[in-house]
Structure 1
Amino acid sequence: MKHPLDRPELTPLWQAFHTRLSAGQQVTRVRTGPLDEAARSALADLLGLDRLPGPQPTVALARLDEALLDSCGEDTRSVVATIVGPLGDRAADRASDTADRAALWEWLATHPVVLAQPALGVWVAAVRRSGLIGGSVPATRRALGDALGVLAGLPACGEPLPVFATRILDDSHALDDGTRLSSLVLRALSALYGVPAPETAADRRALWSRAGLADDALSTTVLTAGMHPTGRGPVAHCLAAFSAAGHATHLTLAQLRDPGELHFPRTTVHITENPSIPALALQRFGSACPPLVCTSGWPNSAVVLLLDRLTEAGAPLRYHGDFDGEGLRIAAHVLARSTATLWRMSAADFLAAHLRAPSGPPAGRITDAPWDAGLAPALAARGTAVLEEHVAEELLTDLAGLCADRQTGSTQGLPASNSR
């Protein structure tokens, strides 16, 4: 039923009070207008005035409440809500929106994928600067959740992008070129790898490939040494034969995808960033060299697939890399994508090595090391890197202990600590 005071000549009054009362702030008087003569006459009748108000009168809330209670037994808020609509609380809405935004950005900054790879902090800051997607917190959180799910699955094992998108997102087109989600993920990958954001289709394809998507199955390889698997498949035979001869082996992605019968022992496998360490290990230990995998920088899809196979076999993994900005990011990436733990990669290890090799190359852009809060500050304070070659003797000494273990038939690796 229409309210008896819902008349056209009083509409400007009700709308003015609705706007002010919905602000969520204290209201004592409201200015309305401009009013025509009919509206001014209706307002004078309502308030019991002895003359017409001006065209833009200021009306006291208490005076209007009194008049309305006398005429219809309701106060201003009740009448306005009935005629115009429910009153809002814009101040509370703004506070709630601010809290929702703060919670969104806190969730993003503390997400396990971001904490595991601090280099993504640059991406987090850029996403926050760009604001909400469609002005919506829920829509932004959904999009970022999808992006983080994609990042958690990278680097991939060389599968085509649509296949990967189907596996992760149940939508083969979710990462098609030009989609908002593909843009979000590619910006994250450029921050992770420390490269410029891709500008062309070729740049985007190259970045996807670097993340292990649509890699060439023959040219994508992983360097290994000292591997002694069992099985009747060709990969097992080749690895065992080359290891027995004291040689390294490059396994292709294709070979790892279809290795035939292949069984890795549950022996500790040490992972290095640089090929020089396996080369020195083979030179020193020959056919007794312990199992080694080299990422040759950022791990490609062949490296990831091999580490997955070793994990499935129950082989403990230990990782060592360069003490520089890039090395810390690669180490964090390996830890996030595999079951590896650290091998001589603590702040104490860096400081001890830096004393022996203080004049290394510049450390470059440094991001936090999630496994040791003191490592990045120590590296930044000294400003120069300690590369794997600088600590080769310490690494080879550790590996020599494993050679002795193998010679006595032991399959135990080094203790699972950050310093060994």
Structure 2
Amino acid sequence: MMSLNRYRMRHLAKQGHGGAKRASQLLARTDRLIGVILIGNNFVNIAAASIATLIAQRIWVDNPELGVSIATVLLTLVVLIFAEVTPKTIAANHPEKVAYPFSYLLRPLLFLLMPFVYVVNTIANFLIRLTGIKLDQDSKDLLSTEEFRTLIHEAGAMIPPKRQQMLLSILDLETVRVNDIMVPRNEIVGIDLDDDIREIENTLRNSQHTRLPVWKGNINNILGMLHMRNAAKVLAQPEFTKAELLQATREPYFVPETAQLHNQLFNFQSEQRRIAIVVDEYGNVQGIATLEDILEEIVGDFTTDMSATSLDVMPQDDGSFIIDGTITIRELNKALNYELSMDGPKTFSGLIIEHLESIPDSNICLKIDDYPIEILKVKANTIASAKIYPIPK
């Protein structure tokens, strides 16, 4: 009974399995179940010992002490082999085949012996409470996040690997923040209302994005988000103005960079949004986060292998990779299955600069977490590109 898989048992009980229903009801009060089993078990063992003693004394009348000793040894072997080790080993390895049929016997026994069980449990529970141990029947089967993660790992072939990864990714949403998956500030494509109207029109016609932020003068002064569906209506006019373009925008949605992804997913749902402007504690724009970015954390990239298609990670013939400095450490680890530390800087460039504690003015080589790295290009006080080699065997 105690070796039963509680979750499988509850699943079978919901499907109408009689034995699983009875076992579930019995296990709801383990103290009563243990009480009725041990009352019967001890009664039989003590009765067997008494009967064996009487039989031994009658057989060895001349030497009853010898008879009792022989009976004790023989009965111990019989009980151990036939009443303890053998049946309990079988039951522990095949709990459902044993527990479900015997649940039909244990329920009426529990009903018949309830007065004895009640007295025994009352005294036992009182003694247990004196030790300071709490008898919590409700929380004993609850799983923590890490326990649930282990359960998914051990599911094996019962859950396909892809679905296992999705479940684990959902659990990881609690540890990932918005600034880990956002598009950084320097990669944001948008419309500056201070630009020439023809330049704005050219940006709209050539944009590969569905939504564009609209700001005036400075990216920290974002006025709205423009959906390309609304932009198409504006572009269809013979002549359009910046005021008309601004009217077609929607009020921007700002989120803090420290927001956890699982909370932000629900916030997108409640706010009916698909894109958010990420700001720091001072209100400065740090990047853009989209609903698709969060979904990719769960189901994986919607595109093909990143290392083969992304310009941020370009494989070389010698087994090395040329890495764009703006790529995030998280994306780099996922693309190349690396284990670079993500506790500090978020970008590859930031990781190199933090390791060097200075901005290099020439191409140098270094090693981070055992990965050999060669800086290829330094531009505007940042690492524009670097080559990373596989760890030598």
Query: Which range, TM-score by smaller chain?
Result: under 0.3
Please report the TM-score for the alignment, with normalisation by the length of structure 2: 0.27
Higher RCO, Cα 8 Å, sep 6+: 1
Please report the TM-score for the alignment, with normalisation by the length of structure 1: 0.26
**Which structure: greater strand fraction?**
2
